[in-house]
Amino acid sequence: MSVVNRALLGVCLLLLGMALAQAQTPIRFQLDWRFEGPSALFLLTEAKGYFAEEGLNVTIDSGSGSAGAINRVASGAYDMGFGDINALVEFLANNPNAPGVQAVYVVYDGTPASVFTLSGRGITEPADLSGKTLGAPTFDTGYRAWPLFAAVNDVDPDRVVWQAMDPALRETMLVRGEVDAITGFYFTSLLNLIARGVAEDDIIVMPYPDYGVKLYGNAIVASDAFIQSHPEAIASFLRAFSRGVADVLADPEAAIEHVYRRDPLIDRSVELRRLQLAIEGSIDTPSARELGMGAVDRQRLADSIEQVGMAFGLDASILPSADRVFNASFLPPIEQRQVFAD
């Protein structure tokens, strides 16, 4: 090949690369929390190039709460995010005329919200919480959904005292005895208590789904504006994500390396267990296996919207419909969402 031809080939390849880069749709994506075990679902997908193969340039940022992610997507600060579907119901109910958000893919088939206490506190079942002091950040899903947990388990909500606290102090205050119990995500507070020197056998956990609260948990959400302007990008994102989830479920330990690359300060063994707990408790469920990862049962979603309305004190007349909350039109075919190993 002549020097001229080599130069022309180089120019053509450069132009092709520039064209491909320009063809990629940028997506600003907000996680629910820090770069921890469960964020491997998104970080692996990005690192393996699955988003890029779909023509997407996805920027993934850490978050400060699963409810906050809803607000940031609604505000336009982010195009898509990972947030609590129950907080989404509340947002839509309270902001019917504001820029909206929809869930497009459920990741946590059951809410990870749980009550935690320690042995020796005289609490072994929900009824024992009567007369006790519970603590949580005010935005915590378990705190917000407490009236529902109390109603299902015949606990008088007025006989429980709540103490608001910073997330970083939640488990510490339980260990010190400043509160009798706390609420938090199962895979977060359990490991935080162990990190504070509590023996796992001394930790008593009441997961909300195991005690009659059948709410969905976190979902991938997209702003109405992005849905209208880039519907094909959302479908592409979910196809790539389903591929990534399959890889994470097949080898969680390898998946944690992608979290470590984003935050080298994590303890990989702790985050591996956090990821495994999230998979076992909220992701790999009988319902998700039956419907395929990401889908919802419409009746269950409709029932949960009513339950959220009751728990959050929302008037029934302003509650959004199931179709307003969840948009199934971007889901990949069920064959691509059967990501669970036998």
Q: For residue range 215-245, list pLDDT tens digits in order.
A: 999 999 999 999 999 999 999 999 999 999 9
pLDDT band at 8 (very low <50, low <70, confident <90, very high): low
pLDDT at 121: 96
pLDDT of amino acid 22: 47
The two three-digit tokens of residue 48, written as one number: 């393996």
Whether the per-residue pLDDT at 300 is higher than 90: the answer is yes
Place 256 in a pLDDT band, splitting at 50, 70 and 90.
Answer: very high
| % of the chain exceeding 90 in pLDDT | 89
Range list of β-strands (E), 160-200: 161-164, 181-185
Please tell me whether the overall predicted TM-score, pTM, comes out greater than 0.85 for this model. Answer: yes
User: Is the confidence at residue 106, as pLDDT, over 80?
Assistant: yes
Residue type present at position 31: L
- Mean per-residue pLDDT over the chain, rounded: 93
Q: Which CATH superfamily hosts domain 113-211?
A: Periplasmic binding protein-like II (3.40.190.10)
In eight-state DSSP terms, residue 326 is B
Residues of the chain within CATH 3.40.190.10 domain(s) are 23-109+216-337, 113-211
pLDDT of residue 21: 46
Place of tokens 């009824």: 127
Closest of 265, 243, 228 to residue 105, by C-alpha: 243
Q: Are strands 113-118 and 203-207 parallel, antiparallel or unpaired?
A: antiparallel
Q: Is 66 helix (H, G, I), strand (E, B) or coil?
A: helix
CATH of 23-109+216-337, one of 3.40.190.10, 3.40.50.2000, 3.30.70.2190, 3.50.30.30: 3.40.190.10
The DSSP annotation for 222-235 comes to EEHHHHHH-HHHHH
pLDDT band at 15 (very low <50, low <70, confident <90, very high): very low
Q: Please report, rounded to a whole number, the percentage of residues in the chain having pLDDT higher than 70.
A: 93
Q: Does residue 275 carry a pLDDT above 60?
A: yes
Rounded to whole angstroms, how far apart are CA atoms 169 and 104? 33
Spatial distance between the Cα atoms of 292 and 329, rounded to a whole number of angstroms: 14
pLDDT at 114 (0 to 100) = 98
Q: Tell me the pairing of strands 133-136 and 161-164.
A: parallel
pLDDT recorded at residue 98: 84
pLDDT at 227: 98
Residue 16: pLDDT band with limits 50, 70, 90: very low
pLDDT at 130: 96
